[in-house]
Structure 1
């Protein structure tokens, strides 16, 4: 289990090098999205996760979930707030307002839900900050890991 979205960039290398099963955070999230009947999601995450194919490509190709990301300015804002504030434990209302605006833009583009695709984003964004459901990848991943551990121990 990799307890971070961005580091799933190397998940395929890890699974190729070991026989230990890997609970992929995008798979766990995609399963919840599909259970909710959602077809198009907005993705908030680090620039690496929003811009590279290891995450959104997996959702689109393996689960037929359309993934929308913010425009270049929005991606920079989301990324910078993660690394310059949230990773340092800094929570600012101004940043929450910026995230709300970016979420609203994604919803206006047709996002039916938003993936909080970075473990730190939930420090800032809560359900009341969006008009659509939020998928907290940290919580989903942890829940699925606990279920898997309980099944394997029985």
Structure 2
């Protein structure tokens, strides 16, 4: 079994989901007392969000690259960023280490193609929706990504940063987010990417009419596949 390297803390709720689901997944596949070999480094989310607010992505890249080097030194065979938004600096992290980075965008694009979804909607943070880094990564695989109207970006961002990263799941917020997914459906999306780990805490598959593609769940499954290959 290969050792999985995780860079987490963006938020700790996200790291919790990754660690829990990696353990549950390996136990389900191998049975008994089996568990994954994991190295985890977490960063100070407050420091990163302050840098994000000031658009200091160069410094964010340096911080996450250093975390990646630490995970590599600790014995990881490959690396995951436990976040969608901070994949914006994935290249800086990948360039800093000698182990592979399992990029979320590549994993999600493959799942979209396998599911027959050539056009999908993305809900996530403002950065993930307004910057092209994630959309372009999927486009390179032939998947078209639609994002919500700009008037909804603050609603989604606030739901993530003001509620979900603190573990607060609010029914009224769920209803607002479901309405946003319905607009994406009307615009031509054949499925909805839950493009932030915390959104998987809010939106359940039964909540929306379109297929929900849980990006974190797919990332975890791909990591288990790679670790057990």
Q: What is the TM-score with the length of structure 2 in the denominator? A: 0.64
Counterpart for residue 131 of structure 1:
209
Give SS of 1:63's match: coil
**Could you report, residue by residue, the CA deviation over 1:22-66 in whole angstroms, capped at 9, with x for unpaired residues?**
000111011000001111100001111111111111111x11111
1:3 match: 82
Equivalent residue, structure 1, for 2:159: 81
Q: Distance in 2 between matches of 1:59 and 1:105?
A: 21
Q: Paired residue for 2:134, among 50, 55, 58?
A: 55
Counterpart residue number, 1:95: 173
Tell me if structure 2 keeps the 8 A contact 1:28–1:141. Answer: yes
For these two proteins, the number of residue pairs brought into alignment is: 150
Q: Using the alignment, how far apart are the partners of 2:209 and 2:87 within structure 1? A: 28
TM-score (norm. length: structure 1): 0.95
User: 2:190 and 2:94 mapped to 1: Cα distance?
Assistant: 32
SS at match of 2:145: strand
Cα distance in 1, alignment partners of residues 146 and 224 from structure 2: 29
The structural deviation recorded for 1:17 is 2.2
Give the alignment of 1:2-41 within 5 angstroms: 2-41=81-120
2:143 is the counterpart of 1:65: yes
Larger relative contact order, structure 1 or 2 (CA cutoff 8 Å, min sep 6): 1
The runs of at least 4 aligned residues of structure 1 exceeding 4 Å deviation read: none
Q: 1:66-105, CA deviations, whole angstroms, 9 ceiling, x for partnerless residues?
A: 1111111111111110001101111111100001100000
Unaligned runs of 5+ in 2: 1-79
Higher Cα Rg, which structure: 2
Aligned to 2:196, the other structure's residue is in SS state coil
Displacement of 1:7 in angstroms is 1.3
Of residues 17-26 and 114-123 in structure 1, the stretch that sits farther from structure 2 once superposed is 17-26
RMSD: 0.8
